[in-house]
Amino acid sequence: MKKRLTNNLALKLAAIVFAFLLWLIVVNEIDPVERRTYSNVVVTMLHDELILNKGNTYRIVNGNTATVTVTAKRSILEKITPEAIRATADIKDIQLSSFVPIEVAIGGFEGEYRSATALPNNVEIKIESSKSTKFPINVETIGTLQDGYVLGNLVAQPETVQISGPKSLIGRIEKVVARVDINGISSDSTLEAELVLYDGGGNVIDQTSLETNIGGDKKVRVKVELLSTKIVEVKADVTGISPEIGYKIGDVTCEPQRISIAGLEEDIADINEITISSDMLLADNINEKTEETIDISSALPENIRLANENEKNVVVTIRVEKAGVKTFEVPINSITKNNVKAGYKIDFGNIQEIMLHFTGDDAALEALTLEQVEKRVSIDLKDCTEEKSYTVPVTVNLPTGVSMAEEAYVTLKMQKQEEEQKKAE
């Protein structure tokens, strides 16, 4: 009887062990132990006053983030959020004057995970003397305004920033910029801007080891002024320019003929043209066509500027004619070509226009326009039958009371057309 009880007890113990093992297998199948990685976990430095209280500071050499690997059951990992993970480096544990071990803890899950490790497993720091310097804040914009507006004044608030940190890092700062996004705005605004530091090579400086007097987020506000734009004509006043005796001032043109100005809406409302005054031009006692490049920005009214400061140059062309003579520059492509030999094409080379001079009574000359001349000018190519250069007379079918003051000629080259071009035509 006793032996039977002993045997039954052994069987029961074996059954319990088997059941436990079976339970472990089932649990691990249902809720297995796994690893999960969390990137860019910020490492918080502890007890850095041990360095700062001595008048020194420190610079993190290898970055202030780590990749944390957590080992736990799947059910636990599903509950852990990145916000629950806290990585710290305690200055008290510094090794070799440079390396501070990183410890990882997961708030609210103490005892429920098997391990939590960081890579790298330490923060490398460099201890050095500290420095504090005040810098002006420049403003840079990103994005595009709504059509019809350009940027006016940009003012950072505050206009300066005090930056403290390792002496070597402070010494690298060349420029402090408030970078503000203006995309889509259509009225004066005050916007939050990101503070960016640049070195002399235009490289962005990591601010991890730096502190400012504007708060931990290192953000400022920027007051953005918008100006309305308007397209206006450009004209030149040449009343103060005298031609040589026997000549007179002809057409005066400006290129570009229109510019875009910017200003407050009430300031630009009544402005329809910008005039270049004669005292801005150097030409005087002239007897031929004269061109001058003028900085149009100096002709703008007060509180008005160019919408694009890079488009300030205007070319003023002053054409001079003999008294009783009217002169036109006729585009070469407006000339009618008569009797062109089949299979040939015309090459005018670099000639873009020809100068034609007309004489006649004052009323007829006054009425004569470039548009009229363009429709009446032609050349006859009946004698241009070979592949070579020719100089041919220019004919103008003039209205009554007007004649050509002098004969005009144009030089051209006859060229055979390629077969494919012939077929296309």
HEC string for 39-56: EEEEEEEECCHHHHCCCE
C-alpha to C-alpha distance for 381 and 386, rounded to whole angstroms:
11
Say whether pLDDT at 362 is over 70. yes
Say whether pLDDT at 4 is over 70. no
pTM to 2 decimal places: 0.57
**CA angle centred on 20, ends 19 and 26, rounded to 5°:** 85
The encoded tokens of residue 119 equal 């890579």
Residues 6 or more apart in contact with residue 370 via CB below 8 angstroms: 328, 329, 330
Say whether pLDDT at 23 is over 60. no
Say whether pLDDT at 15 is over 70. no
The encoded tokens of residue 91 equal 């200055």
The per-residue pLDDT for 87 is 95
The encoded tokens of residue 4 equal 């039977």
Q: Judge contact between 296 and 316, C-beta under 8 A.
A: no
CA distances from 365 to 126, 294, 324, 352, 375 (A): 86, 30, 8, 24, 16
C-alpha to C-alpha distance for 416 and 420, rounded to whole angstroms:
12
Strands 377-380, 336-338: pairing is: parallel
Say whether pLDDT at 59 is over 70. yes
C-alpha to C-alpha distance for 170 and 374, rounded to whole angstroms:
69
Q: Judge contact between 139 and 178, C-beta under 8 A.
A: yes
Name the H helices within 180-277: 265-268
To the nearest whole number, what is the mean pLDDT of the chain? 88
Mean pLDDT to the nearest integer, 163-186: 92
The per-residue pLDDT for 12 is 63
Say whether pLDDT at 196 is over 70. yes
Residues 6 or more apart in contact with residue 91 via CB below 8 angstroms: 45, 46, 47, 48, 50, 51, 100
Say whether pLDDT at 3 is over 60. no
Question: Among residues of the chain, what percentage have pLDDT more than 70?
Answer: 91
Say whether pLDDT at 227 is over 90. yes
Q: Give the count of beta carbons closer than 10 Å to the beta carbon of residue 96.
A: 7
Q: What DSSP line would sit under 253-290, residue for residue? A: EEESSEEEEEE-HHHHTT--EEEE-GGG----SB-S-E
Q: pLDDT per residue over 291-315, tens digit each?
A: 999 999 999 999 999 999 899 999 9
Q: Give the count of beta carbons closer than 10 Å to the beta carbon of residue 405.
A: 17
C-alpha to C-alpha distance for 155 and 116, rounded to whole angstroms:
47
C-alpha to C-alpha distance for 127 and 123, rounded to whole angstroms:
12
The per-residue pLDDT for 306 is 93
Residue with token string 């069987």: 11
Residue closest to 263 by CA, chosen among 296, 311, 300, 310: 300
Name the H helices within 226-382: 265-268, 362-367, 370-376
Classify 287 in phi/psi space as left (phi over 0), alpha (psi -120 to 50) or beta. Answer: alpha
5 pLDDT band (50/70/90 cuts)?
Answer: very low
Cβ-in-10-Å burial (0-12, 13-18, 19+) of 58 comes to buried
The per-residue pLDDT for 114 is 94
Name the H helices within 178-318: 265-268
